A and B are shown apart, each in its own frame.
Chain A
């Protein structure tokens, strides 16, 4: 498949996925709650009319009035809410993405190097152990320790450097381990290849072989995981923002779904906000996908052979 049609394909699939998400989000969710003499009865009747109406209303709003509708706060449009929360989250996403990719690759190299020595199991063990701790447990533990032992660190603040650095660090822990695992696995897969033997036979130092020859060959397979890395970051983002009470997009998205234990989907369900934030996430994901596809094509050492 040619390079350009690959980019186009991911774009088309992105559009289809967006349409599907819009359809799921606009699915009618209102319950009929009535009081039947002495008890409350909830009834749900699906009707195509309501569903169609939802879709038409939404499309009308987007195309004619250029709006996603209102939020639960009546003086705020969904558009501003989306942009505000995205601006909070974007800084976290970008920082976490950079931290996890750079440090993750480094840790992967160290893991691989370590696996050749006696302490090898240490690197791998830390990776598993980290992957096995549920993220909410880790978050709780960190919060608890910080509140208890480092009370001077203000973790719930929304200003100053801790406001975005701490959540970014928390978000990047799991993706970092993920990238480390992939890096060390793809380095290990190169082991014993002829080109490495040649490089070693030339008397090049091991570090040089690792950095210049092996990493260049692994770059493709590591970069192909960029989009799963991004999705990983997004799903971590929800947990971190939820526990830190950070006013970011993932938290806003969950809030807009308005899941309550009283009526399931409550009356404050905000389809506009959900669709808006999903759209932003998708744009970012598409962007990451394109970066990964482009860099894979241009960084491949076999290019032009």
Chain B
């Protein structure tokens, strides 16, 4: 139990995974999210939604009578999948790019530097809003995939730059120079010399980035920018982009107007779920970092 942080992180992560995959099958969770338009109380009085928190709805229900807790738990899988795919895609492109550019020269280096600098001039959130509102993305059939790609692409430069700096430092180590002297091929050098030394750092940054992505799409949700949507008719000849998924960000987006009428609880629960997710990834990353640091200290 020396590395308490890692333990706490692992427990929180297990909890998150349990809720995500086993959560929907728990008895008090309504998987289908059926709205309950009215309900009779024990003394035969009509109750209309939103229902107060009770043994029936642990966190209460929304205006259509859909259980709040079920909404969050059913949405968890999709939310985490989006977060993971954005971060994974980012690292899949950034890590090879950073490795290619580690000598700080050549084509890969130019691409990396330009990418990093360009997007560092505007906050990620602004770039995301500007790009996600491009018209051909609004009605694109594969909007979600595009969104994932764009959100991943915005920060590729930053991650690749980090990888490049780390690899450059490693390439100065005596054991790598020994590898050069042996005349190893670049592929072998990368596989057996760079990657093992980089791995701890990559994992830690991956965890931290998971938290960052969660925050970013949470912010997009608050600004009512849905990740997947459909254009439907809501009144006579008036169309509206409606959110088509149950992920937490869209819960945030659809509830935002309620803050102004001081119905704080609706937005509070999804935001709390997002906070728990970010905290899990941060603590986990910090724990893994401590774990790897401890090993290096021991070996010294």
Contact = CB atoms under 8 A, between A and B. Distances in A.
Interface of A: 10, 13-14, 16-18, 20-21, 24-25, 27-31, 35, 39-40, 42, 44, 46, 128-129, 131-137, 140, 144, 227-228, 231-232, 234-235, 238-239, 242, 253-254, 257, 259, 261-265, 274, 278, 281-282, 285
Contacts of A129: 279
A137 B272 contact: yes
B129 A235 contact: no
Contacts of B117: 10, 13, 17
A28 B272 CA distance: 38
B27 interface: no
B160 to A, nearest CB: 16
Contacts of A133: 275, 278
A137 B129 contact: no
A44 B133 CA distance: 13
B187 interface: no
B189 interface: no
B6 interface: no
B120 A228 contact: yes
Contact of B239 (A42, A136, A265): A42
B118 A137 contact: no
Contacts of A29: 133-135
A263 B131 CA distance: 15
A13 B118 contact: yes
A44 B139 contact: yes
B251 to A, nearest CB: 13
A30 B129 CA distance: 17
B134 A20 contact: no
A262 B241 contact: yes
Contacts of A262: 238-241
Given A42-B231, A128-B286, A129-B279, A21 B122 contact: yes
Contacts of A263: 239
Contacts of B231: 42
A128 B224 contact: no
Contact of A278 (B122, B124, B215): B122
Contact of B223 (A31, A137, A254): A254
17 contacts: A13-B121, A17-B121, A24-B131, A40-B239, A128-B282, A128-B286, A134-B215, A134-B278, A136-B219, A238-B123, A257-B130, A261-B224, A262-B238, A262-B240, A263-B239, A278-B126, A281-B121
Interface in B148-204: none
B136 interface: yes
Contacts of A261: 224, 240-242
A31 B137 CA distance: 12
B275 A137 contact: yes
Contacts of B224: 259, 261
A242 B219 CA distance: 11
Q: A-side binding surface: helix, strand, loop or mixed?
A: helix
A39 B279 CA distance: 46
A14 B138 contact: no
Interface size class of B (residues with CB under 8 A): 35 or more
Nearest to B124: A235
A229 B211 CA distance: 18
Given A136-B271, A228-B120, A264 B241 contact: yes
A17 B271 contact: no
B243 to A, nearest CB: 9
Nearest to A30: B135
The 5 closest A-B pairs by CB, nearest first: A235-B123, A132-B279, A264-B138, A137-B271, A17-B121
Interface string B85-127: 0000000000000000000000000000010011011111110
Contact of A231 (B114, B123, B262, B282): B123
A13 B129 CA distance: 22
A132 B138 contact: no
A259 B122 contact: no
B152 to A, nearest CB: 17
Given A281-B122, A285-B121, A132 B241 contact: no
A17 B118 CA distance: 5
A10 B114 CA distance: 11
A29 B139 CA distance: 13
B125 A238 contact: yes
A35 B271 contact: no
A39 B233 contact: yes
B129 A257 contact: yes
A278 B225 CA distance: 21
A285 B123 CA distance: 11
B264 interface: yes
B222 interface: yes
B133 A259 contact: yes
B278 to A, nearest CB: 4
A111 B60 CA distance: 41
A28 B118 CA distance: 22
A236 to B, nearest CB: 9
Interface string B216-228: 0011001111000
